Amino acid sequence: MTRDQLAQQIIEAGHFLYSRGWSPATSSNYSTRLSATTALLTASGKHKGQLRPEDVLVTDMAGNSLEPGKKPSAETLLHTQIYLSRPQVGAVLHTHSVNATVLSRLTPGDHLLFENYELQKAFTGVVTHESAVVVPIFDNDQDIARLAEKVQPWLDAHPECPGYLIRGHGLYTWGPHMSDALRQIEAFEFLFECELKTRSLVNVNSPVNVKELPL
């Protein structure tokens, strides 16, 4: 696809994610793979519900802007490391939903485990609800290079991983195409909401489908 076509995908994704309340104001960042050595990424500080073609820019895989006068998102390295680790990935989305933010703060452990949900099949590579989807949670860090160093070993050890959470911050997910990444965002949000409702409705000593430490 051309740069303009990929930019339009990013713009449309931003409008959709903003409309669902998953990317409020200037939060979040989105990208697509432009080539083996470059990515197209949202510029820093842009309102995701009002994105325009000039609000995206090309970066190299080290996170450097290749368009003078345009500043990439501070979290660019979290995008490019996924492209470098997973050659099949064509799009990366980072969102700041209420569910992802609250759930990551309430979970004392370092991961969430989802089992026996039919919607798990929305994730790339998952073909049955009789499976486990592990979502790691990394502590937030304003030093993005240091955070990327913490994420990398997990990416290396878990090639099937569909995404991860940053505690009190948001969700990262990816896919071969923008449509795949968007589908996984919706699946994650459904599961996050189920988990929060389960925690609020059942006694902490009752068995639940999501095996995680109780509140």
Structural domain boundaries in the chain: 3-108+135-189
Cα distance between residue 79 and residue 94, in whole Å: 9
pLDDT for res 210: 47
Euclidean distance between CA atoms 18 and 13, whole angstroms: 8
pLDDT in tens, 189-204: 999 999 999 988 865 5
Mean pLDDT of 186-191: 96
Average pLDDT, the chain: 91
**Architecture in CATH for domain 3-108+135-189:** 3-Layer(aba) Sandwich (3.40)
Residue 212 pLDDT level (bands cut at 50, 70, 90): very low
The pLDDT score that the predictor gives to residue 202 is 67
d(CA 71, CA 58): 10
Q: Which residues lie across from 42 on neighbouring strands?
A: 56
pLDDT > 60? residue 141: yes
Q: What percent of the chain has pLDDT over 90?
A: 83
- Give the single-character DSSP code of 43: B
For the segment 68-114, what is each residue's pLDDT rounded down to a tens digit? 999 998 899 999 999 999 999 999 999 999 999 999 999 999 999 99
